[in-house]
Amino acid sequence: MLILAADTSGKHGSIALVQCETDALQILELVGLQGGTFSAQLVPQLAELLSRHNLSKSDIDAFAVASGPGSFTGLRVGLAAIKALAEVLEKPIAAVSLLEVIAFDLRPPSGGNRVLVALDAGRSEAYVGEYEFVAGLPSCISESLLTFDELAERATQSSVYTPEENVITALASRGAGSQVSRVPRPDAVSVARLGHPKILVGQTVSPEQLDASYIRRADAEFKKPVRNPA
C-alpha cells in the first residue's frame, strides 16, 4: 500500500511517500516544508516527489494527514490539498491528531497502558491529550487546552510526554520537571505510521468529512464550527 502523508500543522511541515505492508514500512522519501509558505510549496513538492520515484497520482492507494492541533493557515492548506486528491482519486483518508501520533510512537510506554501527551499552544497553555491503548492503537480519553499550571497539576498523577522545550521548561519551573519526558517531534512519516493501521481497520474519512482541529479558538476554533441549517 502506497501512502502519501502530510503534516502542515506547525511552523515546519513535511510530506512523505511511504510503502506500507502488513508488518513493514518503507520510507520512499520525506520532504520538509518551510512554514509560512505551505500554499506555494505543497502542490509543486507533491508533484516533484511523485516524479522522482517514477510514480503518478494514480499510484497512491491512500492518504494520511495530520488534522491538528495546529495553526489555521497551515492546516487549511494541507487538508485542502489532501481533500482534492482523495476526491479525484477516490481513495481513503486517515486523519490523525498529532497528539495521537506522539502517543502511538510510545506504544505504550513501560509502566502503564495510558499516556498523557502535550504540545505547546502559546500563551502559557498546552494542548493535552490522554490516551489508552486498545488493540495496539491509542484511543482518546480526552483532549483539552490547559494552562501550564493545570498541566503541572495533571503531571502529579501521570507522566507527560512532549517534543516541546517550552512545555518541559514550564513544568520544570512548576516543580513537575521529573514527570516530563522529551520525545521526537512527529513528521509526515510518523503520520503515515499511524495512518496505515487505521486504514487497515477502516478508520478513515471521506473528503467531505475531513476537518481540522485548531489549537485555540482565536485561530478558528479547535472545536468544529457550528453550521447553520440550510
Q: 123 in a domain, yes or no?
A: yes
**What strands lie across the sheet with 125-134, from one edge to the other?**
137-147, 125-134, 114-122, 160-162, 180-182
pLDDT attached to residue 219: 45
Q: Judge whether 230 lies within some domain.
A: no
Q: What share of the chain is helix, strand, coil (3-state, %, to 5)?
A: 35, 35, 30
Distances (CA, A) of 121 to 77, 89, 145, 187, 225: 20, 35, 8, 18, 20
Domain match, 155 and 190 both: no
Indicate whether 78 and 122 sit together in one domain.
Answer: no
Mark whether 140 and 192 lie in a shared domain.
no
Q: Is there a single domain that holds both residue 30 and residue 144?
A: no
User: Which domain does 144 fall in, by range?
Assistant: 98-182
Residue 224 falls inside a structural domain: no
Q: What is the CATH number of the domain that holds 139?
A: 3.30.420.40
In Å, what is the CA distance from 150 to each residue of 125, 144, 169, 174, 208?
9, 11, 15, 10, 35
Q: What is the pLDDT of residue 5?
A: 96
What distance in Å separates the CA atoms of residue 73 and residue 214, rounded to the nearest whole number?
10
Does a structural domain hold residue 226?
no
Q: Give the cell for residue 226.
A: 457550528
Q: Which pLDDT does position 110 carry in this prediction?
A: 61
pLDDT of residue 174: 94
157 and 105 in a common domain = yes
The number of domains in the chain is 2
Q: Is residue 208 part of a domain?
A: yes
Q: Are residues 72 and 157 in the same domain?
A: no
Residues 172 and 195 in one domain: no
What is the rounded distance in angstroms from the CA atom of residue 16 to the CA atom of residue 50?
A: 10
Same domain, 134 and 169: yes
Q: Within this chain, do residues 191 and 169 fall inside the same structural domain, yes or no?
A: no
Name the helix (H) or strand (E) containing 134.
strand 125-134
> Residue 109: what pLDDT?
66
pLDDT, residue 49, reads 94
Q: Please, what are the averages of pLDDT over each run of 10 residues along the chain (230 residues)?
A: 92 91 88 74 89 95 92 84 93 94 82 85 91 87 93 91 95 92 94 94 92 61 40
Co-location of 87 and 201 in the same domain: yes
Do residues 14 and 71 both lie within one domain? yes
